[in-house]
Chains A and B, each alone.
Chain A
Amino acid sequence: MPGLAPVFRKEIADHFSSRRFLILLALIFIAGLAATYVAAQSIRDAVTSSGAQARFIFLLLFTASNGQLPPFVAFISFLGPLLGLALGFDAINSEHSRGTLSRVLAQPVYRDAVINGKFLAGLTTIVVMIVAIGLILSGLGLRLIGIPPTAEEILRLTSFFAVTAVYVAFWMSLAIMFSIFFRQAATSALAGMAVWIVCTFFVGMLSGIMANLLVPLGPDATLADVVRLQDTQQALARLSPVTLYGEATFTLLSPTARTLMPLQLLGLLPEARGMVLTPLPWIMSLQLVWPQIVGLVALTVVCFVISYIRFMRQEIRA
């Protein structure tokens, strides 16, 4: 398609040389280094306390914490959206406000080359960055604990980083969408942040409140009612991509996780009695959270499709 390659090249160059990107890279990198280092220091305690999971020491580098600093997984689920938003929030509106869009579109290129090029460049940037951070942190972890990852662990880590890339891509996609709907870059950035904050902090609380309203538990509530309340709350919370990502990464990095149901509740269920916490093979963990992963991909695609349609129909003049 004429124009796709030039737009892609320019956007990639822009991303990698922008201060915004360097700041976020530094932030995530420092967070990653600190979290991995702390995890490596406290790995002995973590191994003893995690029981069956002790076979997966390498994974603990990314999930274990000493209680003072959150693990890498928590950092990335918090900073990932910020990265995605930063890569996309002014993708289109800044071209409008600088007056470069009409100049670019007056060249012999199709209009969708611009938005496709920007999206692909953002995606590539995210993948490159996440692969780099993943490899560096794994290398560091290897130096610190001296135990190489097993094939199973490598699969789990790879899928974890892949899901992370999808997660960040979703936020970028959302930000690009806002950059088309809002003419001011600041408004679009704020809209993105608002969604991020709602999804990160409020969806958990609100889903609890909503679930209590929808499934009120009387004094004579049965176990089935409690399960139903729990299901409702979880279903509501899963409207948030943050929840989807949290569940997906938790399951992928904790081989013993067999269900996404809370453990206290699980203990009450008769069929769960005697269930042994043996680790699942990687493929089964993946199957367990496949809906979450598909959900994240779908959200990304939906945002992109809306952006695409809107962009193609938008008037060029401001």
Chain B
Amino acid sequence: MAVIETTDLTKRYGDLVAVDRLNLRVEEGEIFGLLGPNGAGKTTTVLMLLGLTEPSAGTARVCGHDPTRDPLAVKRIVGYLPDSVGFYEDLTAWQNLAYTADLNDLPMAETKRRIAEVLDRVGLTDVAHKRVGTYSRGMRQRLGIADVLLKHPQVVILDEPTIGLDPEATVDLLDFIRHLARSERMTVIVSSHQLPQVQRICDRVGIFSQGKLIAQGAIDQLGRQLFGAEFMLVEAQVRPLNDQTVTLLRGIPGVERVEPNRDAVLLALSRDARADVVRQLVKSGVDILAMRVRGSALEEIYMRYFQHA
């Protein structure tokens, strides 16, 4: 069953189309990445899924509920971590969570139990009674996760969860999210503009650009979907780099495209043909000084769309 399904979901602000006829399907237990540059319509999509913004056209379904008609039913089962999540600075972490629990109408005993549970999970038990004003960025983000988990959601939506975190904290948080989704069978939607992060944890991704979903699918399929046959980009530093070498490279099966640069050549491969390339070059007396995978085609296409936006 699709946990989240949208049909031609559209949001217009005046002349600006923030989200353009979005058709999205997220299955249960999946980690889905919404990938796209800032302003591509990711947050607007998320707000529409939660019923915090009304769509201009189209419909959305979250676990069978319509967020526009019945926002409370959706908000009861969806945990949302906004980008730049904020807390009441004068209150302690515990008090902040207690307020969320109160808004969710949890009884007091249950509130206490759940707060202890979620604080323990995110590792903030020791500082539970410190004012949030004294928290670091990473701690706030973890508190945000605790806040989301408090209502025992079926679906978790995280909007730019790693923004402003240092690399180590980013990795920790991502691994935690991944672990969580797997251990609880929760459906997770992560919106981000950083491809490596999405690649690290997501089963499937949808790429947003200017309000449109330009591609969606599993990460390794996505490159193919967008780029035709190519799925790997390899940069090789060879000597000599002349027309003869280029012709030679073009003749190797699996090499789709050859782009000679100043001192290196960029190869787009439709299969992992690196060994063949090396063998052929050595056989023809061309020296290979270096060879490295420059990333997947996904990265390439993503960068290209990023520049457009």
A102 contacts B by Cβ under 8 Å: yes
A2:B72 contact, CB within 8 angstroms? yes
Q: Are B147 and A108 in contact (CB under 8 A)?
A: no
Contact of B88 among A2, A98, A110, A317 (CB under 8 A): A98
Q: A103-B86, A105-B52, A106-B52 are in contact. Are A317 and B102 (CB under 8 A)?
A: no
Segment at the B interface, from A3-11, A27-35, A83-91, A257-265: A3-11
Docked-complex contact B99 and A10, CB < 8 angstroms: yes
Interface residues of A in 5-49 (CB under 8 A from B): 6-7, 9-10
Q: How far is the CB of B135 from chain A (nearest CB, A)?
A: 13
A105 CA to B86 CA in the complex, in Å? 12
Contact residues of A between 92 and 115, Cβ < 8 Å to B: 98-100, 102-110
State which size class the interface on B falls in. 20 to 34
Q: List, in ascending order, chain A residues with CB within 8 A of B32's CB.
A: none
Chain B window 19-48, contacts with chain A (Cβ cutoff 8 Å), 1 for yes, 0 for no: 000000000000000000000000110010
Establish whether residues A316 and B87, one from each chain, have CB atoms under 8 Å apart when the complex forms. Answer: no
- Among the stretches B77-85, B228-236, B282-290, the one at the interface with A is B77-85
B212 within 8 A of A: no
A315 in the interface, Cβ–Cβ < 8 Å? yes
The reply to whether B99 and A6 form a contact with Cβ atoms under 8 Å apart is: yes
Inter-chain contacts of B82 with A (CB < 8 A) = 99, 102-103, 106
Whether B86 contacts A100 by the Cβ 8 Å rule is: yes
Contacts of A107 in B (CB 8 A): 75, 100, 103-104, 151
B88 A106 Cβ-Cβ under 8 A: no
**How many angstroms between the C-alpha atoms of A98 and B90 in the bound complex?**
12
Contact call B50/A106, Cβ cutoff below 8 A: yes
Tell me the bound Cα distance from A107 to B99 in angstroms: 10
Nearest-CB residue, chain A, relative to B76: A108
Residues from chain A with Cβ under 8 Å of B43 in the complex: 317
- Judge whether B75 and A106 touch: CB under 8 Å: yes
Neighbouring A residues of B75 by C-beta, 8 Å: 106-109
B263 contacts chain A at the CB level, 8 A cutoff:
no
A106 to chain B, nearest CB (A): 4
Most buried by B among A7, A9, A107, A109: A107
Does residue B194 face the partner (Cβ distance < 8 Å to A)?
Answer: no
A106 touches B89 (CB 8 A): no
Residue on A nearest B73 in the bound complex, by CB: A108
Say if the beta carbon of B105 comes within 8 Å of chain A.
yes
Name the interface residues of B95-145: CB closer than 8 Å to any CB of A: 99-100, 102-105, 144
Q: How far is the CB of A107 from chain B (nearest CB, A)?
A: 4
What are 10 contact pairs spanning A and B, CB under 8 A?
Answer: A2-B72, A7-B103, A98-B87, A100-B86, A100-B87, A102-B82, A103-B144, A105-B52, A108-B103, A108-B104
8 cross-chain pairs, A with B, having the tightest CB-CB distances, nearest first: A99-B86, A6-B102, A106-B80, A107-B103, A98-B86, A102-B82, A108-B75, A108-B76
Residues of B within 8 A of A (CB): 43-44, 47, 50, 52-53, 72-73, 75-76, 78-80, 82, 84-89, 99-100, 102-105, 144, 147, 151
